[in-house]
Structure 1
Amino acid sequence: MATLEQIQTRLKKLQAQADAIIAKRAQGALDQIRELMIKHGLTTRDIEARAKARRERARLGLANGTSGKMKSVGATKGKLPPKYRDPKTGATWSGHARPPAWIKNVKDRSKFLIDGGSAAASVSVTLSAKPAAKKAAAKKAATKKTAAKKSMGRKSAAAKNTAVKKAAVKKVAAKKTAGRKAAAKKVASGRAAAGKTAARKVTAGKVGRKAAMHKTGRGIARKVTAHTAPVAAPAAANGAIALS
């Protein structure tokens, strides 16, 4: 089974491929639009004027409650600004209505464009390229946000694991310290008990020695008395004889 990192790597590769395909399609569409605009001699002004006229017609139609054909409000009565110029004769054409003879059968009309018309064409291509670029940027931003959220989740999980590990290490250290203290108390109590027992033994030995010495003294006294008693008896007898 694939891990989360492998799935994320695949998603990034697929997102990159999707972005490349979108950019390629957008570029193709832009190329087609530019070719059509050059072919038909259109600029962004023309597109904006058409769009404005449609908006005005829709607004007026809704206001009057009619859906019939109406004249364009955006259409101007005066002449439109020139867009193409014949370099030989200096004749100009606005790009609307019927083309003149000097540009009628020309396929690539870009070489007859006046500087303003070519700039407008490049601006139109740039404006049409903006939506695709915005979409790609939005997708990239969403991908970055998702990756940031995932990384934050990983960091929080790692922090929790670290805190749990530290707490477990502290508990083990506390248990070891408590065990050492208990062992030290046991050793100290054992030593105290052994000291008391030794003191009792020493006291008992001293008492026994004293008793033995007392007994020995009595025995010696008895022996001395036993030895001295017969000597005193003959002396008494001798005295009795002398008296008689």
Structure 2
Amino acid sequence: MTMQPVDAAVPNGGFRVPKTAELVAANLRRQIIRGELVEGDSLPPEHQLTETYQVSRPTLREAYRILESERLIEVRRGAKGGARVRLPDADVAARHAGLMLQFERAELSDVYVARAVMEAPAAALAAADPNKEGLRRLEENLAEAERVLSDPLADQSRLPLLSRNFHTIVVEMSGNKTLALFDSMIGTIIDLASKNFVTTQSTMRRPKSTATALKAHKKLYRLIAAGDVEGADALWRQHLDGVSETMTDVVPGTVIDLLS
């Protein structure tokens, strides 16, 4: 593995000069992001890295801690230990987003409005260029959801996950990686809200609310398959607005209430 030298830090009036450990972490991070270091790769021994970067062992270990906090490496202790590369994980961004929303005392309704803003255009993009693989995944999701819903002996707790997966597939079909990332960031909050909603519903009402959602999912599938861009956008926006109104009437009002 070819190691790159640490970029020199040039002070710029008013800007904080990065610590040496931050520069080492930035250099390693850049190699991971660019694919020069891949999942499972072992970093060279500490003595080699300290020589390459001309830093002390404590400085290198501080750089490791930075990358560990970002879940870009995993450090194992002991004789057979060392640092191994991990790929970037959207869960890290999701946790930080959840913390920020809690700190800002964001209303749960904010999250659902953001979801509608992202997912309605995503549905339109999916309809603009419906791909066979995406349609196949939607078909399988709908078939499984219908099977679970119609079988009283089936594990009904799977329905919220199937619903969430349907939304995820639609966003992925848009082909927009930024939308997919943002959608995954609020996905944890949406999942918790859905589980909370299910537990508050009576056994009699659960099948009805799930059937209503499944009906909307089936209609969106048909619109995407038909390439109806405007129809997909309008239907999904209407559906998500309805879900938002229902959910925020039942589950806690703020993100911190939901995650605490």
Which TM-score applies when normalising by structure 2?
A: 0.20
More helix by share: 1
Which TM-score applies when normalising by structure 1?
A: 0.21
